[in-house]
Structure 1
Amino acid sequence: MALEFTGALRYPNPRVEWLALQDEDILDPSLPIVDPHHHIWAQEGNPYGVADLAEDIGHGHRVVATVFVEAHSSYRIEGPEELKPVGETEAIEKALAARPDLADRGLCRGIVGKADLTLGGAVERVIAAHSAASPERFRGVRHLVTRDPHFPNGIALRPSPEGLLKRIDFREGLATLARHGLSFDAMLYHSQLSDLIEVARFLPELAIVLDHFGCPLGVGPYKGREDETFRQWRENIRMLAACPNVAIKMGGMGMVVTGATWHEGPRPPSSGDLARAWQPLVETAIEAFGVDRCMFESNFPVDKGMFSYPVVWNAFKRLAAGASTAEKAALFHNTAVRVYRLPIPLV
């Protein structure tokens, strides 16, 4: 019988003054970076627009392009329910049109939107609407499948319907993405990796991107069982990596659901602190997938409650310190460019 944990967690809002307590010089400032995972939203109490992203990026790392990932924000108010998420893509385009200087800097060069994949083949209509709204940027879809039996009421996110990845209609929606040359961003928990392995094998033509390392949970009944969770996660990551159509984003470990508590300290963590904490995950992912299917991600502003943009990218650079020039190019830039088919040259 599953243990139940019903307490809802909240992502901590960023505290600018607290984040400023950890001030670091930028490591390897000339290294080109594509940040393949961030959000833009109008969330009450914690809005984060393209100008906020530009400000974070402007602290010294050489970020040449970014990929926006759906955040359940700015949906259409009227019209068919299935087309309401297209409002988010329209909002990004509108924001960039208002700030062409930021568009020229590569912000939101790719867009991963939301579409209800349980529509099956009928999701074609939603894909067409996203593509019409953003013909130059729309690259893929994320439909959250996050659910764990220990959290019947969700954790920080609303729970997704049970067994989405196994449903025939959902898989037909995924197959429709593949037919259009679009990718699927998989946001799930580590306990669901076996379902994603099944999907990756079933749809080898579908480009799948695993978000946030596959989100190893560290709260509720998982707290204190980190070694057990890591072993389970590592085994499934190695099996998933055997599917050549899957890439992995390395980041997102500032999410409270992973057990992160940096925000409770008197000062933010240093990049060295983060690198030491994440080294086992990064080494496992790169060993399994290889650098050509691995990419670092900021997951801002979600992770901004725990550490600043300069610090998190310094941490990634510390983790890649032993890599060759070509390997660093893949991890920080080229994998994201290829996976999201961004119209910028490889380095």
Structure 2
Amino acid sequence: MEIVDAHHHVWRTRDMPWLSGPMVPRIFGPYEPIKRDYLVDEYIADATSGGITQSVYVQANWPLDRVLAEVRWLAELNERTGWPTAVVGSADLFSPDAVDVLKQQSTLPVVRGTRLQLHWHEREEFRFASAPNRMNDPVLRRNIASLEELGWVFELQVFPGQMADAAELVAAVPDVTFVLVHAGMLTDLAPATVREWRDGMARLAQLPNVVVKLTGQGTFVHRVDREFIAFVAAETLGWFGPDRAMFGTNFPVEKLWTSMPPLVAAWRDAVAHLPEAGQAAILAGTARRVYAL
């Protein structure tokens, strides 16, 4: 059965201050082993070792004044190597000029969407956005609405405590597909944490323009935890179903604690009880449809 990696990165440290400069707190913990260039040839070797045949690159936080350079670099990689198959870029969506940036990026056929990370958490090292409710900003909403004309997706990265606001945003832009990153970012299995996550995920699943990525489940536990992965997969698929869910590796972040084959195997095992058509959707079909691969 073929596999599409719906979420990965490649990078050059010189383009990314958070990698080339002093260590700064990140949600995935200490990252010295990946504080280096991770280029397409290494990614291809990692991906093919796990049976992956296509991939979607998701922006890796280049400076917002260089996001056009980011997607141009990736388009060149695609022309030279065939990888990544598609690209999700970024832009300062709080700027009134963002639509102009998005339209410039849209001249590159490889680009399929955009992401601006909106996640905020009580723990400072888990935060990216400056406040939990930035999704209510009218400029952001107008810029996300402009994705309909481009036929692009918006990659939605939020914590469970933000999902009520996220649901309002998604409902306000019904003709844009939202891709929920890392299955809603469940940080642990404490009862209160799981309850808040379940409530938020159920709310988002009611909106037909949301699909979900089964990615990033090592982010907070810093290992391939097969029981945790199986729990997240079962719960998430109960709300969204295979046709609204897709697998991704989050490499090279997950490379901090695993190689590709064990990670792929853990997710394959987590969905092995499903009919073959459901497995095929999660591992490849949904991503191919959503990203027009």
TM category (shorter chain) comes to: 0.7 to 0.9
Amino acid at match of 1:209: V
- Encode CA deviations 1:159-217: one digit per residue, 9 max, x unaligned: 43442111111100111112321110011222211111111111111100000011123
The answer to whether the 8 A contact 1:111-1:139 is kept is yes
For 1:278, the equivalent position in structure 2 comes to 229
Equivalent of 1:116 in 92, 100, 107: 92
For 1:319, the equivalent position in structure 2 comes to 270
Q: Distance in 2 between matches of 1:190 and 1:47?
A: 32
The answer to whether the 8 A contact 1:190-1:217 is kept is no
For 1:86, the equivalent position in structure 2 comes to 68
- The within-5 A match list for 1:14-53 is 31-43=1-13, 44=20, 45-53=35-43
- Encode CA deviations 1:45-64: one digit per residue, 9 max, x unaligned: 322111111110232x3322
Equivalent of 1:210 in 180, 184, 193: 180
- Encode CA deviations 1:15-35: one digit per residue, 9 max, x unaligned: xxxxxxxxxxxxxxxx10111
Q: Identify unmatched segments of 5+ residues in structure 1.
A: 1-30, 76-81, 219-224, 263-268, 343-347
Equivalent of 2:199 in 235, 242, 249: 235
Q: Does 1:137 align with 2:121?
A: no
For 1:330, the equivalent position in structure 2 comes to 281
Q: Does 1:183 align with 2:134?
A: no
> How much has 1:142 moved relative to structure 2?
0.1
The answer to whether the 8 A contact 2:153-2:178 is kept is yes
Q: Distance in 2 between matches of 1:315 and 1:290?
A: 19
What is the count of residue pairs matched by the alignment?
273
Equivalent of 1:164 in 125, 131, 134: 134
Amino acid at match of 1:138: V
The answer to whether the 8 A contact 1:186-1:209 is kept is yes
> How much has 1:94 moved relative to structure 2?
2.7
Q: Identify unmatched segments of 5+ residues in structure 2.
A: 14-19, 21-34
Equivalent of 2:218 in 254, 257, 260: 254
> How much has 1:158 moved relative to structure 2?
4.0
For 1:27, the equivalent position in structure 2 comes to none
Amino acid at match of 1:167: D
> How much has 1:144 moved relative to structure 2?
0.9
Q: Distance in 1 between matches of 2:53 and 2:45?
A: 14
Is the partner of 1:216 in helix, strand or coil? coil
- Encode CA deviations 1:275-313: one digit per residue, 9 max, x unaligned: 222222111110101110001110011111121111110
- Encode CA deviations 1:58-117: one digit per residue, 9 max, x unaligned: 32x3322100000023x5xxxxxx6521111112123344xx3x31xxx21110000111
Amino acid at match of 1:49: L
Is the partner of 1:217 in helix, strand or coil? coil
Amino acid at match of 1:90: R
Q: Distance in 1 between matches of 2:280 and 2:45?
A: 24
Is the partner of 2:56 in helix, strand or coil? strand
For 1:72, the equivalent position in structure 2 comes to 61
The answer to whether the 8 A contact 1:144-1:160 is kept is no
The answer to whether the 8 A contact 2:246-2:284 is kept is yes
TM-score (norm 1): 0.75
Q: Distance in 1 between matches of 2:171 and 2:77?
A: 38
